[in-house]
Amino acid sequence: MNDNSLEARLSAAIAGLPRVSLGWLQTPLEAAPRLSAALGGPPIYIKRDDLTGLSFGGNKTRMLEFSIADAQAKGADTIVYGAAVQSNYCRQLAGACAKVGFECHLVMRPEREMDSTQITGNGLVQRLLGAHVTVLPDNDRAKQQEAIHAKAAELRAAGKNVYVPRQPDTVDLEALSYAISALEVVQQARGQGIEPSWLYVAAADTTQAGLVLGLKAIGSSLKVRGINPSFKNGNEERMAVMANQAAERLDLDVTFTAADFDNDDSYVGERYGVPTPEGLAAISTVAQNEGVLLDPVYTGKAMGALIDHIRSGKISADEPVIFLHTGGAPALFGYAEEMIAALAG
């Protein structure tokens, strides 16, 4: 089978799944020549998944096209989920719920002290989109999971048909949306006459699982390097499970192990949700050379890693790189103080 027929097979397999249109797809692949020159590095291209369109966009819009369709197929009228207060996923989820007419309940955990006292950035947008937002007292992920399931049970008891996304049997639906983004990148690069070696992306699980799934399914040599916003805890193993589950759902002849996933957590800094000086510097470098806005929690740290890898020679000047911009810029408004201090130098 040649590459094009593998690409057609992947597209056809995904086209067979229930899907609701939420975003503006496909997203552009843009050259970033001033950024490349400023870094003295290889040609850099930015895949603009920050421009998916829904409620400020981002990578989660692609994912929600499949999980919201799954919720609709199961007769849901209400979604319950939760993440960090500044969650981009929850912002786009609230936007998706508004668009399809679902009630949306978000049970959020504070990552910083101000998350319990101020409503900024994504927190504001989630509420504006009509989500019912609860902020828990503690930054404790286990307690948060319990609170999410308790909220779902409470709403079910009140007669709602509740869907909780990203469960073990449905999370692969979100991951596989990134096989489409991978396919877009490969086809756009070919169309632009580029042969990229690397794709850098801020990734903890679903995004990288789907990208690697898509690239392996079409026999692409493009290598994905995920830069994790958190310290890893079995992430590559989880990615392999998601990618295998998605491959099975799509009837694709590919299998994965943790070794298929290159995921680096050495740019986290203190912890998830706390900006790093290198990440903040990367945000202003990209803003001032390309007019593109990154974010302090995910894409700034990922770009900081790419810049470091270019400067240290880990990526050479003859290896064109794709930076997949997964969105998140609304969080800038929740980190204005840190950003202003970094700009002041």
Ligand X SMILES: Cc1ncc(COP(=O)(O)O)c(C=O)c1O
Residue 267 as a binder of ligand X (CB under 6 A): the answer is no
172: tokens are 């692969």
Residues constituting the chain: 345
Of 217, 144, 141, which Cα lies nearest the Cα of 178?
Answer: 217
Q: Check: CB of residue 184 under 8 Å from CB of residue 27.
A: yes
**What DSSP string describes 235-297?**
HHHHHHHHHHHHHHHHT-S----GGG-EEE-TT-TTSTT---HHHHHHHHHHHHHH-----TT
Q: Considering the complex, what minimum distance in angstroms separates the CB of residue 303 from ligand X? A: 11
Report the residue number, 6 or 227, with the smaller CB distance to ligand X.
227
Q: Considering only residues 67, 188, 207, 285, which one is a binding residue for ligand X as defined by CB under 6 A?
A: 207
Please give the helix or strand (H or E) that residue 163 lies within, else none.
strand 162-163
Report the residue number, 205 or 236, with the smaller CB distance to ligand X.
205
What does DSSP say about strands 78-81 and 262-264: parallel, antiparallel, or unpaired? unpaired
Residue 56 as a binder of ligand X (CB under 6 A): the answer is no
- From residue 64 to residue 103, what is the string marking binding to ligand X with x (rule CB under 6 A)? ------------------------xx--------------
CA 6 from centre of chain = 25
Catalytic, 87? Answer: yes
288: tokens are 């001032």
Please give the helix or strand (H or E) that residue 123 lies within, else none.
helix 121-128
Residues 294-313 that bind ligand X (CB under 6 A): 295, 298-299
Q: Considering the complex, what minimum distance in angstroms separates the CB of residue 243 from ligand X? A: 12
Residue 205 as a binder of ligand X (CB under 6 A): the answer is yes
Residue position matching structure tokens 């999410």: 148
- From residue 108 to residue 147, what is the string marking binding to ligand X with x (rule CB under 6 A)? ----------------------------------------
Residue 291 neighbours by CB under 8 Å, 6+ apart: none
Scanning 200-208, 242-250, 251-259, 260-268 for contacts with ligand X by CB under 6 A, the matching segment is 200-208
Q: Considering only residues 256, 326, 334, 335, which one is a binding residue for ligand X as defined by CB under 6 A?
A: 326
Q: Considering the complex, what minimum distance in angstroms separates the CB of residue 333 from ligand X? A: 14
Q: 36, 55, 67, 87: which one is catalytic?
A: 87
Residue nearest to ligand X (CB): 328
Catalytic sites, residue numbers:
87
Interface contacts to ligand X, rule CB under 6 A: 58-59, 88-89, 202-208, 295, 298-299, 326-328
